[in-house]
A and B are shown apart, each in its own frame.
Chain A
Amino acid sequence: MKTLSAAAALSTVAAAPAISEAAGPIDSQTWSFTGPLGYYDEGQLQHGLYVYQTRCQACHSLGLVRFSSLTGLDVSEDAVKALASTYEIPYINDDGDRDVRPGVLNDTFPWALGNPKRAIATYGKAPPDLSTMARSRIGGADYVYALLTGYDDAHEQPEGAYYNKVMKVISMPNPWPADMSDFEYPNGTRPSLEQQARDVTAFLNWAADPYLEERHQWGIIVVLYMLALTVISFLAYRVVAAKVYAKLDAEGGPDPEH
C-alpha cells in the first residue's frame, strides 16, 4: 500500500461489488430480533451454537466471544463450564513449551486453525472471524442467511472458487453436506438446511450483538422518560414565557446599548 494514488482510490470505475454489499438483491427475512422490540429466542441460539460447532468451527473463529457470555443463551454456568472444558486452549506451560489446556469460562472460543499464517497455508485465504460478521455486511442477518442458503452446486463454478448467489465468487466451499438426513439437534429434532441456516444466523447475530435485548429495554425506558421530560419542559417553557411576556409588556428587556 505504499504509493497508492489517491485518485485511483477515489475515482473507482467499479465493476466489482463492494466488499460489504451483496452482488444481488437479498431477501428480507423475519427475525425475532429486528425492530425496536426485537428479542432473542434462546432455544434458537442454542441450536445455532450447535450448527456453528458442527459446520463452521473447523475453519472460523469466534475470537471475541467468551464462553462466559454463553449464559445469555439461558444455559447454566456449570453447563457452560463443561462446554468450555471440551475446548483446547493453547498456552505456554511452565517448562516454556507450547501446550494446550482445557478452556475456562474466561477464555474466548479458540481457533481450530490456530493462527492466520496456518489458515493461509492451509486454505490460501484466512476464513474470517465470525464474532462481528452479522453487523459487518449490509443487510446484516439477511445477508448471512442469504449467503448460507445461496450455494448452488449445479451452477457453473468459477475457477479455483465456488459459486454463491450472494457473492458470485466465494472462496468458502459449500458448508452443507449433500446428505443431511441423519443430522439431529441435541433435542432430537431434524432440521432442514434452511432451519440450520436460520438458527446459525440468529446465533451469529447474537455473537455480534449479545446485549440487543438490554439495549432495546433501556430504549423503552429512556425514550418514554425523555418524552415525558420533553412535554414537561415544553410546559415549563410556556409558563416561563408567559411570565416573561407579562414583564416585557410593562418594562421591556435589557438595554441594547449595553
Chain B
Amino acid sequence: MAGSRSPFKNPFLKGFDERLPILRAVHHSMTAHAYPKNLNYWWNFGSIAGIMLLVMIVTGLFLAMHYKPSVQEDTYGINQAFRSVEHIMRDVKGGMFLRYMHSVGASFFFIAVIFHMFRGLYYGSYKAPREVLWILGCVILILMMGIAFLGYSLVWGVMSFAAAEVITQVFTAIPILGDDILILLRGGEDVDDALLNRFFALHFLLPFVLAGVVILHILTLQTVGSNNPLGIDLKSKKDTVSFHPYYTFKDIFGLALFFTIYLAVVAWAPERLAEAINNQPTDYNLPSHIVPEWYLLPFYAILKVFTWDLNLFGLVITGKQLGALAMAGSLGVLFMMPWLDTSPVRSGRFRPVFKFFFWGFVLCCLILALVGAQTSGEAFFIPTPFGRLPLGIDAGNGFVWGSTQQWGVLFTGYYFAYFIVILPVLGLFEKPKQLPASISEPVLA
C-alpha cells in the first residue's frame, strides 16, 4: 500500500501522506476495495456498532471526569460512588444526558452487535475464509460483556453489588485454586473498596483494548472481503461496488434511523431497560431477585439452571461448576462455528431446513433470556402486553410443572444441540436450493 502513489493533490495532504501513509490507506479501503453490490440492511449493523463504541468511549471519558470509585459512606449512609453518579445526574451541566447516553448506549451497542452476529450466523459469514474475522468478533462480544458487567458494578447500587458478588463467586468453581482466585480478584474476601477501584481501572482500560480488536476485525474484513446475502463469492467487476459513496451514504442513513430510536429512548424512557432497584445504594445484602442487564440474560440463564451435582465415576462436578462450564461453553461454542457447520453452502437463503432450525435458535435465545429474568423455582411465563401467559403450573406440593428451571434446561439443551449436533449433521444431509451463478446474474447457472 505504501508503495503506491499518494492519491492526494493538495500539497499538504500529499506531503503528510508520503511521510505517514495512513490517509491513503483510508482512501484505498473506501474506494479501491471490492464490496458486493447486493448487501442488504442487515449489513448496516457493523458500522452502527462501531459508532456506538465511539459514543460509549466518549461519554465514558466525560463521565470519568466526575465519577468517584469509593465505597466510603457519608452521614446519610450513601456511598461516594453512588453519590458521584447522582452528582452527575443532578449537578453536572448536561450530566443527566451524559449518564443516560452511556447506560442506554450500552443496550443499543448490544442491540447492534446482536443483529450483526445473527446476520453472520444466518448468512454463513463465519465460513472460510472468514474464520479469523468471526473469531475476532467473538472476542469482541466477550470483551463487551466483561466491560458491561464492570461498568454496571460501578454504580454501587443494590444490583451492582449483587452482580459483583455473584460473578466473582463463579470463579470459586475452579477446582483447588478457586477460593484463592476469588480473594485475588476481589483484593480481599468480600466485595468492597478494593474491588470497586480495580473494576473502575479495568472498565476504563478494556474499551481501548476492544477498539484495538475492532481495528483487527476491520483489517481482517478488508483482507478476506465482505460476505453477501447470497453467500457466493465475487466473480467479476459486475458484482462489485466501492464502499464510498454507496455504502457510506447507506450507513449514514442507517445510523440516522438507529440514533433516532436511541435518542428517543434516552429522552423518554431511559430507565425502561434498567433494573429499578439499582437506583438505591447497596447495603451489602443480596436482593431476593437477582437479574443482570437484559443482554446478559441468556448466559445468566445457562449459568443458573444447573443446580444438581454430577457424579462421574467418583469425580463430583457440583451444580455451580456445571453452570460455570456451561456458560463458558455457550460462548466457546461460538468460536467453533466455522468448523461445526459442515454445509458447503454459506447463506441460509438457500438452506430451507437450516432456516427452520435457525429461527428455532433465535426463539431459544429469547426463551433463555426470559428464563434468566425469572425465578428458577416458579412457573415459567411469557410476558405479553395483555398480561402474563403462564407456561407452567404450581402443583402445590412443592413441585412445579413447567418451572423456569425446567424450561431453562430444555432450551439450554437446544442451544448446545444447535451447535454440536444440528449444524454438523445438517450440513451433511441437507439438500440446498440451487445457487445462482453470480451476484449480478440472479438467473440460475
A residues adjacent to B (C-beta < 8 A): 1-2, 4-7, 9-14, 16-21, 35-36, 61, 63-64, 66, 69, 90, 108, 111, 114-116, 126, 128-129, 131-133, 135-138, 140, 208, 210-211, 214-216, 218-220, 222-223, 226-227, 229-230, 233-234, 236-237, 240-241, 243-244, 248, 251-256, 258
Contact = CB atoms under 8 A, between A and B. Distances in A.
Nearest to B271: A135
Interface in B225-245: 225, 233-242, 245
A222 B263 contact: yes
A216 B37 CA distance: 41
Interface string B252-274: 11001101100110111011000
B257 A230 contact: yes
Contacts of B91: 66
A21 B264 CA distance: 27
A214 B323 CA distance: 45
B234 A256 contact: yes
A11 B290 CA distance: 10
Given A10-B290, A19-B277, A19-B287, A218 B267 contact: yes
A20 B400 CA distance: 24
B377 A129 contact: no
B272 to A, nearest CB: 11
Interface in B1-44: 31-35, 37
A142 B377 CA distance: 28
A233 B256 contact: yes
Contacts of B236: 252, 256
7 contacts: A64-B86, A114-B75, A115-B76, A226-B259, A229-B260, A253-B237, A253-B239
B317 to A, nearest CB: 12
Nearest to B252: A233
Contacts of A233: 249, 252-253, 256
B238 A252 contact: yes
A35 to B, nearest CB: 8
A248 B241 contact: yes
A258 B260 contact: no
A85 to B, nearest CB: 20
A101 B181 CA distance: 50
B66 interface: no
B237 A255 contact: yes
A251 B241 CA distance: 10
A20 B287 contact: yes
B83 interface: yes
B287 A64 contact: no
In the A-B complex, the 3 residue pairs with the closest CB atoms: A219-B267, A252-B237, A18-B289
Given A111-B75, A223-B260, 5 more contacts: A10-B307, A135-B279, A136-B278, A137-B276, A215-B270
Interface string B394-416: 00000000000100000000000
Contacts of A133: 280
Given A136-B280, A253-B237, A216 B323 contact: no
A90 B158 CA distance: 28
B280 A132 contact: yes
Nearest to B289: A18
A256 B240 contact: yes
Contact of A226 (B32, B256, B268): B256
Given A14-B375, A64-B83, A223-B263, A4 B279 contact: no
B47 interface: no
A37 to B, nearest CB: 9
A137 B31 CA distance: 53
Given A12-B289, A20-B275, A219-B268, A254 B252 contact: no
A254 B32 contact: yes
Contacts of B233: 256
Q: Which of A61, A237, A255 has the most CB of B within 10 A?
A: A237
A243 B323 CA distance: 55
Contact of A9 (B31, B165, B225): B165
B166 A9 contact: yes
Contacts of B278: 136
B273 to A, nearest CB: 13
Interface string B67-96: 000000111111000010010001100001
Contacts of A234: 253, 256
A224 to B, nearest CB: 10
B289 A132 contact: no
Contact of B376 (A13, A128, A218, A220): A13
Given A218-B267, A248-B241, A19 B86 contact: no
Contacts of A61: 76
A128 B280 contact: yes
Interface in B377-435: 377-378, 405
B143 interface: no
B34 A19 contact: no
Contacts of B90: 64, 66, 69, 210-211
A91 B234 CA distance: 75
Contact of B169 (A4, A64, A215, A226): A4
A236 B116 CA distance: 24
A204 B73 CA distance: 23
B276 A140 contact: yes
Contacts of A140: 276
Contacts of B252: 233, 236-237
Contacts of B162: 9
B318 interface: yes
Contact of B190 (A2, A6, A11, A116): A2
Interface in B268-314: 268, 270-271, 275-281, 284-290, 303-304, 307
B286 A131 contact: no
A240 B249 contact: yes
B153 to A, nearest CB: 15
B307 A7 contact: yes
A237 B253 contact: yes
B246 interface: yes
B130 interface: no
Contacts of B31: 254
